[in-house]
Amino acid sequence: MIRTAILPVMEKRIPALTPELKITDFKKSLKFYTTLAGFDIEYERPEDEFAMLSKGDAWIMIESISDKSRIMKAGALEYPFGRGMHFQIQVEDVQSLYDTFKSNSHPIFSEMEDKWYRTGETEGGNRQFWVQDPDGYMLRFYQDLGSRPFQK
């Protein structure tokens, strides 16, 4: 769903940490995030090839690498971008999102799985899968499975 300017964005609570992803093709990335991944456009500046996107409580910014953009880079930008990090994004229905990627023939980096992670004396469960966006940023979409006692 693409949201238009119903409310000024400043009336919303933007998360304290909102990554900005530098991208090579604004239209292709915007289509990926809105059509496949189901993000909403909070606002965009097409003239700057920039958009603020949200999916539930997860927010990101995308901006094209161009003469117009202010690029803060510590090294060469080569595919895949964001090497060594990934973005974990909680969703309400991970299976439907997974099915959307599959039905659109988008490559799945790591297939759907249930994974339990120890968090002290308990384990938290995720149903999750991994994909890469058009520039190679790694996204892990997950649905919370709750918690259970840790069994040694």
Residue 108: the pLDDT is 98
pLDDT digits (tens, 9 = 90+) for 84-126: 899 999 999 999 999 999 999 999 999 999 999 999 999 999 9
Those residues whose C-beta lies under 8 Å from the C-beta of residue 55, and which sit 6 or more positions away, are 37, 38, 39, 40, 89, 91
Q: What domains does the chain contain, in order, with CATH numbers?
A: 1-67 (3.10.180.10), 85-152 (3.10.180.10)
Those residues whose C-beta lies under 8 Å from the C-beta of residue 16, and which sit 6 or more positions away, are none
Residue 38: the pLDDT is 97
Residue 67 has pLDDT above 70, yes or no: no
Sign of torsion over alpha carbons 79, 82, 85, 88: negative
Residue 23: the pLDDT is 94
Residue 6: the pLDDT is 40
**Amino acid letter, residue 19:** P
pLDDT digits (tens, 9 = 90+) for 12-56: 688 999 999 999 999 999 999 999 999 999 999 999 999 999 999
